[in-house]
Amino acid sequence: MTVGPLGRDDETATFLDGTARGELLLRRCRDGHWSEPAAMCCSTCCSAELAWEAASGTASLVSWAVTHSRPTDGTADTHRVLAVVELAEGPWWWTSLADVAPEEAVIGLHLQVAFERASDGDEAVPVFRPR
Ligand SMILES: [Zn+2]
C-alpha cells in the first residue's frame, strides 16, 4: 500500500512532529472535548483555547470505498481502501486502511493507527490497521 505525500507548513508542523514520534495529535479544549487537528475552535463548545494532545490511536470503521488501479507494466492490479473511521475520542477521520482486503471491511471493524511514509524523507502519514 502506498500513502500520498503530506506537506509540511506552519499549519501542519505540530501535527507532523507528532506523527514522526508515532503520535496521532488532536486538539482538545479545557472542557475535555476533542476536535480534529485543523480545528480553529472546539467542535462541541466553540472554545478557541485548544491544546494539542495525543489520541489513543484506536478507532472503528464507519464507511469505506475501494479504488482500483491497473498498472501499465503488466504487474497485478492494485487496490486501496479509503475510509472514514471514528476515533475513540470522537472525531471522524479520513484515512487509508492498511492490511485490510476489501471483503474484510465491515462497519465497526476495530482499528489501530499506524504511520507510513511514501518514501524516505517524506512525512509520516497516519493509516489504520485492524487490531
Ligand atoms: Zn470544548
Give me ligand 1 centre to Cα 51, in Å. Answer: 11
pLDDT tens digits for range 49-68 = 999 999 999 999 999 999 98
With bands split at pLDDT 50, 70 and 90, how would you rate the model's confidence at 4? low
- How far is the CA of 47 from the CAs of 25, 54, 75, in angstroms? 18, 19, 51
Q: Give Cα 21 distance to the centre of its chain.
A: 15
pLDDT at 2 over 90: no
pTM value is 0.87
What residues pack around ion ligand 1 (CB closer than 5 A)? Answer: 29, 31, 33, 42, 44-45, 47
Give me ligand 1 centre to Cα 35, in Å. Answer: 8
The pLDDT value given to residue 5: 59
The C-alpha atoms of residue 106 and residue 25 are separated, in whole angstroms, by: 26
Q: What is the mean pLDDT of the chain?
A: 92
Give me ligand 1 centre to Cα 32, in Å. Answer: 6
Work out the end-to-end distance of the chain between its first and last CA atoms, rounded to an integer number of angstroms.
18
pLDDT tens digits for range 58-106 = 999 999 999 988 888 888 888 899 999 999 999 999 999 999 999 999 9
